[in-house]
């Protein structure tokens, strides 16, 4: 039984590494999908916690990641708008999110955790507003 | 000064400053010196804690209207809905929302029995379903732009109470207990009341402490004379025998505790034995209405078969407020003996359902507001009328309404609020919030309740698995517009 478990672990590890090496070249091309949204959500959770704990550097890294991920979202909605889809509000909300994440970085540079916390809440609300009205079935 | 001698010092001199102050401040609450010392013991998880800012209120009565009443049939008068009854809902009103009504979105529905009138100086609209509450219009602060996540009742009720759709987060009352401790050492700081034959749907997960220590969870008081399971002393055991056993247990535990001065779990356990002993007297007394006057009982509708059980629950809530209980969560059930209609969930025959449910709560809630006001308690108490979501303006099953999480009414009354005031609005048909910037989600309501209790929701934190958690998850904005 123990040998079977060891063999199973090896198999999972082997295929896992191969899968990683295959997918690596595509990693830079982040696409607007559920994974991206979940990454944004978990990064946002981390951001909120790190601001509360006054971990400035970690919080800044989270805010920077969010800023970059929202840029991907913005590109997506720009294309949608250009294609004539009715998502102008989503584009506005994404721009708002980019602005908020930039402001959070500034507040964290100034060690102003209270303003950072309030702006992070604004950011989370903006995400929520967008999800409420543009979520997929 | 070590822990033990500091405790002795406090007990011997009766310098329980917080307890003494509370004893003076709360009507009906008397705290002896030893207990007052217990209140300020730093190792006691329920020791009173200072708020972040001066509190406007001391207690919250959280009136959960279980099953989701149609606020379009209670407070949110829509002349356009009346005018367009029977017609289809224009697509423009449905933009951005996902509907799931069985058989699709039907025509707009208006009850033929519904009439509307404005009340008070504020001119708030009330339907004919709430004639008693309407007389208190100027005490209420309406939020007519409430939103939430529409799911099943159980899931949305969980969100209403904990802010999350999944079990595991603390309920609002648990956060309050954690952040402020107890104001009465003889009673739990967080009590849940309900009327009807069975415990509220989805049960104790709605008053759970989640990742907070268990001591902060709500204690459910059952309807009837014996409010807590297993609280009564067994008949074969005298009070003296119990006292002697507890004294011996306490002595042995204190010996153990003196060797482990930093063991807060042990302190909490010791406290729970004593609390249970005190609660055997305090809890039944707190819910015993025999000393209430006939006039008071009449005020709450206790002698009426429809209003009786809910009125009893609200009168108990008032008595708990008097005794310093911080958070009282009241879940509406059904009138005694009623088996067909057990909540506000009116997917069909709304007239019958809401006719009964509104009658069950109207007089008792009006009585509660009047009673709190006359006792001078309304200024230090917050009453919150809330529900997991509301109901659609379109019909379902011909005579009912489906769930509506996109725009509905809740109200608050009490200290620190602009009374006779309305914040936000729904669109002309009552489908969704008119201005998304004014939308009030569960987190915003929670943040506002905490603010009135003197707690900054961003600073009310607990480290769970290395992450700083707060009552409002990552959301929450205090609704400053409704604060006085």
Residue B448, Cβ neighbours under 10 Å: how many? Answer: 26
% pLDDT > 70, chain B: 91
Across the A:B interface, residue pairs with CB atoms under 8 Å apart total 46
- Would the pLDDT of A17 be above 90? no
Task: Check if A134 contacts B (Cβ < 8 Å).
Answer: yes
Which architecture characterizes domain A31-134 according to CATH?
Answer: Up-down Bundle (1.20)
CB B107 within 8 A of CB B394: yes
Residues 24-53 on A with a CB inside 8 Å of B are: 44-50, 52-53
Minimal CA–CA distance to A126: which of A106, A107, A99, A86? A99
B-chain CB neighbours of A125 within 8 Å are: 475, 477
CA B393 to chain A, closest CA, distance in angstroms equals: 19
| Residue A59 distance to chain B (closest CA, Å) | 12
What pLDDT score does B407 carry?
Answer: 97
Residue-range domain boundaries for chain A: 1-27, 31-134
ipTM: 0.79
Indicate yes or no: CB of B468 within 8 angstroms of CB of A52.
yes
| pLDDT score at A134 | 66
A:74-113 residues touching chain B, CB 8 A cutoff: none
pLDDT in tens, chain B (484 residues): 444 444 444 333 333 333 333 333 333 333 333 333 444 455 678 999 999 999 999 999 999 999 999 999 999 999 999 999 999 999 999 988 888 877 778 899 999 999 999 999 999 999 999 999 999 999 999 999 999 998 899 999 999 999 999 999 999 999 999 999 999 999 999 999 999 888 898 899 999 999 999 889 999 999 987 787 777 788 888 989 988 988 898 888 888 888 887 776 777 777 778 888 888 888 889 999 999 999 999 999 999 999 999 999 999 999 999 999 999 999 999 999 999 999 999 999 999 999 999 999 999 999 999 999 999 999 999 999 999 999 999 999 889 999 999 999 999 999 999 999 999 999 999 999 999 899 999 999 999 999 999 999 999 999 999 999 999 999 999 999 999 9
Q: Would you state the pLDDT for residue A30?
A: 63
Spatial distance between the Cα atoms of B40 and B43, rounded to a whole number of angstroms: 9
Q: How many angstroms away from the CA of B442 is the closest CA of chain A?
A: 12
Contact A133 B97 (CB under 8 A): yes
Domain ranges of chain B: 1-42, 49-225+297-482, 229-287
Across the interface, whether the CB atoms of B475 and A121 are under 8 A apart is answered: yes
pLDDT in tens, A77-123: 999 999 999 889 899 999 999 999 999 999 999 999 999 999 999 99
Query: Given a cut of 60, is residue A1 above it in pLDDT?
Result: no
B473 CB neighbours in chain A (<8 A) are 124
Torsion angle of the four alpha carbons B368, B369, B370, B375, in this order, in degrees rounded to the nearest 10: 80
- The alpha helices in B123-238, defined as continuous H runs, are 153-162, 172-180
- Nearest CA-CA partner of A72 in A47, A50, A97: A97
User: What pLDDT digit, counting tens, does each position of A51-64 carry?
Assistant: 999 999 999 999 99
Instruction: Give chain B positions within 8 Å (CB) of A50.
Output: 468
Distance from CA of A125 to the nearest CA of B (A): 6
Beta bridge partners of B411: B142, B385
Give residue B43's pLDDT: 64
**Which residue is closest to B469 within chain A, CA to CA?**
A49
The whole-number pLDDT of residue A129 equals: 83
CA distance B475 to chain A (A): 5
A52 and B461 within 8 Å at the Cβ level: the answer is: yes
Out of B96, B467, B477, name the one closest to residue A121 (CB): B477
Q: Which CATH number fits domain B49-225+297-482: 3.40.50.150, 3.40.720.10, 3.40.1050.10, 1.10.260.40?
A: 3.40.720.10
């Amino acid at each position: 039984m123990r040998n079977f478990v060891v063999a199973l672990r090896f198999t999972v590890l082997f295929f896992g590494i191969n899968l990683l090496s295959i997918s690596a070249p595509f990693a830079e091309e982040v696409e607007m999908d559920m994974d991206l949204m979940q990454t944004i959500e978990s990064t946002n959770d981390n951001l909120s916690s790190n601001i509360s704990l006054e971990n400035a550097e970690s919080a800044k890294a989270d805010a920077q990641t969010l800023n970059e991920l929202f840029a991907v979202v913005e590109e997506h909605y720009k294309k949608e708008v250009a294609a004539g889809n009715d998502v102008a509000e989503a584009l506005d909300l994404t721009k708002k999110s980019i602005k908020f994440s930039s402001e959070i970085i500034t507040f964290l540079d100034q060690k102003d955790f209270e303003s950072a916390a309030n702006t992070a809440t604004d950011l989370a609300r903006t995400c929520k507003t967008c999800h409420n009205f543009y979520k997929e079935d | 000064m070590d822990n033990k001698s500091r405790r002795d010092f406090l007990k011997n001199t009766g310098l329980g400053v917080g307890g003494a102050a509370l004893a003076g401040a709360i009507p009906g609450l008397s705290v002896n010196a030893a207990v007052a010392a217990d209140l300020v013991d730093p190792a006691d998880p329920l020791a009173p804690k200072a708020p972040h800012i001066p509190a406007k209120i001391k207690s919250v009565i959280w009136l959960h209207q279980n099953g989701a009443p149609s606020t379009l049939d209670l407070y949110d008068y829509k002349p356009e809905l009346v005018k367009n009854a029977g017609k289809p809902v224009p697509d423009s009103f449905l933009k951005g929302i996902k509907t799931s009504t069985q058989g699709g979105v039907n025509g707009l529905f208006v009850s033929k029995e519904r009439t509307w009138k404005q009340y008070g100086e504020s001119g708030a609209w009330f339907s004919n379903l709430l004639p008693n509450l309407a007389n208190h219009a100027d005490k209420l602060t309406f939020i007519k732009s409430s939103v939430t996540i529409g799911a099943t009742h159980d899931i949305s009720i969980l969100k209403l109470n904990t802010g999350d759709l999944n079990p595991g987060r603390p309920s609002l009352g648990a956060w309050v207990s954690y952040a402020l401790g107890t104001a009465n050492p003889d009673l739990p700081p967080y009590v849940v009341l309900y009327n009807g034959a069975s415990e509220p749907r989805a049960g104790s997960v709605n008053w759970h402490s989640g990742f907070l220590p268990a001591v902060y969870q709500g204690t459910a008081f059952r309807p009837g004379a014996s409010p807590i399971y297993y609280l009564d002393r067994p008949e074969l055991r005298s009070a003296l025998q119990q006292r002697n056993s507890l004294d011996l247990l306490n002595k042995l535990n204190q010996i153990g505790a003196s060797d482990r001065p930093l063991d807060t779990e042990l302190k909490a356990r010791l406290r729970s034995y004593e609390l249970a002993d005190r609660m055997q007297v305090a809890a039944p007394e707190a819910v015993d209405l025999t000393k209430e006057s006939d006039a008071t009982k009449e005020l709450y509708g206790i002698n009426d078969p429809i209003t009786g059980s809910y009125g009893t629950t609200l009168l108990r809530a008032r008595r708990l407020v008097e005794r310093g209980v911080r958070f009282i969560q009241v879940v509406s059930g059904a009138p005694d003996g009623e088996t067909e209609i057990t909540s506000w969930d009116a997917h069909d025959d709304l007239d019958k359902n809401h006719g009964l449910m509104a009658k069950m709560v109207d007089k008792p809630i009006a009585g509660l507001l009047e009673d709190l006001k006359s006792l001078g308690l309304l200024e230090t108490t917050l009453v919150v009328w809330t529900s997991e979501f509301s109901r659609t303006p379109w019909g379902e099953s011909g005579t009912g309404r489906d769930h509506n999480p996109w725009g509905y009414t809740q109200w608050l009354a009490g200290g620190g609020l602009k009374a006779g005031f309305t914040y936000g609005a729904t669109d002309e048909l009552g489908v969704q919030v008119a201005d998304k910037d004014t939308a009030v989600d569960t987190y915003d309501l929670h943040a506002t309740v905490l603010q009135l209790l003197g707690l900054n929701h961003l600073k009310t934190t607990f480290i769970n698995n290395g992450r700083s958690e707060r009552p409002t998850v990552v959301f929450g904005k205090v609704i400053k517009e409704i604060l006085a």
